[in-house]
Amino acid sequence: MGVGNYTEDDVRECSRAFTDWTISTVLPRNYYSRYDWIFEYQPEDHDEGEKTFLGHTGNFNGEDIIDIICQQPATAEFIARHLYNFFIADEPQVLAWSVTPPNDPEAVKLLAKTFTEPNYDIRSVLRVLFLSDFFKSARFTQIKSPAEVVVGTLRLVGQD
């Protein structure tokens, strides 16, 4: 969502909504001596009190908070600008976004609109992005560092 679109109280109420979630290990360990991790819901730890988050009030859990965040117009624009910045062209850093417009405002609007229309589906956004003319015209403008190439290759072959 970006700085300025939420308050400190929103952060506190959000953390209360996520009190019932934890991270657990999954056995057996993989061959690199790492444990795989999963998110685990523990209803006995849920804060049952009423919470007010971004103007909405209720007995929210973590999934409710995510839904509320996705409904915010600032979230769609924030995600769209990040995707544009990563795949298309370098933009000013996030802290400057409040005073600096995007390089291609129409592209960012298209990506943000695509995010909100099919019920906040990031796959639809990526499909529109990768099939767009602005993506095709940005070919070879975003060159990966050697570390990004190695990490991407390892992920591609399933070695997280």
Q: Are residues 46 and 83 in the same domain?
A: no
pLDDT of residue 156 exceeding 70, the answer is yes
Q: Are residues 35 and 80 in the same domain?
A: no
The predicted pLDDT at position 92 comes to 76
At 6-60, the pLDDT tens digits run 999 999 999 999 888 888 877 766 666 667 778 888 888 888 899 999 999 999 9
The predicted pLDDT at position 140 comes to 67
pLDDT category, 142, cuts 50, 70, 90?
A: low
**Which range marks the domain in which residue 111 is found?**
72-160
Burial class (CB in 10 A: 0-12, 13-18, 19+), 75: buried
- As for how many domains the chain has, the answer is 2
**Which residues have a Cβ under 8 Å from the Cβ of 63 and sit 6 or more positions away?**
none
Q: Are residues 22 and 44 in the same domain?
A: yes
Q: Are residues 21 and 46 in the same domain?
A: yes
Residue 67 lies in a domain: no
Q: Are residues 78 and 114 in the same domain?
A: yes
> pTM for the whole thing?
0.72
Q: Which of 27, 61, 95 is the last residue of a domain?
A: 61
Residue 157 lies in a domain: yes
Residue 99 lies in a domain: yes
Mean pLDDT over 63-78 rounds to: 91
The predicted pLDDT at position 152 comes to 83
The predicted pLDDT at position 97 comes to 75
The least confident of 4-13, 102-111, 121-130, 139-148 is 139-148
Question: H or E element: which one contains 8?
Answer: helix 8-17
At 79-120, the pLDDT tens digits run 999 898 888 887 777 777 777 888 888 999 999 999 998 788
